[in-house]
Structure 1
Amino acid sequence: HIDGLSSFYQQKRDLFISGIADSKFSLIPSQGTFFQNVDYSQIRPDLNDVEMCKFLAEEHKIVAIPVSVFYKQAPKNLRLVRFCFAKKEQTLI
């Protein structure tokens, strides 16, 4: 089971990445995690990351995690959100 986890989650990550490839999200390279950080500054630079997550949830039914919650004091110009790709394939699609 453990030997196959890496490729299992890589396939999910690749599916997620292919799904947003034509969007204006900019991918931040990640390895060894269930999460993909994306820069959304080309989409809604007027929103901070908490506001962006609320916008995505309310307007598009997409749930993201604001990266600022991992800081004691986040940079003001932080325009990153994180998505979990440890989901069922149909959810990712």
Structure 2
Amino acid sequence: MNWGFNASNLDELVEKAKSTYPSTYKDIEYIGEVENLTVDGKDARKFVFTYDAGAARCKCWDIFLLLGKDSYLIGFTDMVENFDDNIGDYEQILKSISFN
């Protein structure tokens, strides 16, 4: 996905994304700090947030990668009350991702 961000590194990409989210997500709240991780050996950044989606409150993991000039977002979203029950599944999915 082309985010329209001319980011030269992952940290800049994440900051630009986070700066646009309040105009997209209602009552967004970031949880904790941005986390460094790898996906298929590639550097990535993850941040967690919650937001209002109508009558439900949702929780998200957004994981960003920058491969060459292309940015990637891997996102996991569920209702707040269900999200933590699915973390094991999200982690398994991340482990199964490969870039060719």
Same fold (TM over 0.5): no
TM-score of the pair, normalised by structure 2: 0.39
Structure with greater helix share of residues: 1
Structure with greater strand share of residues: 2
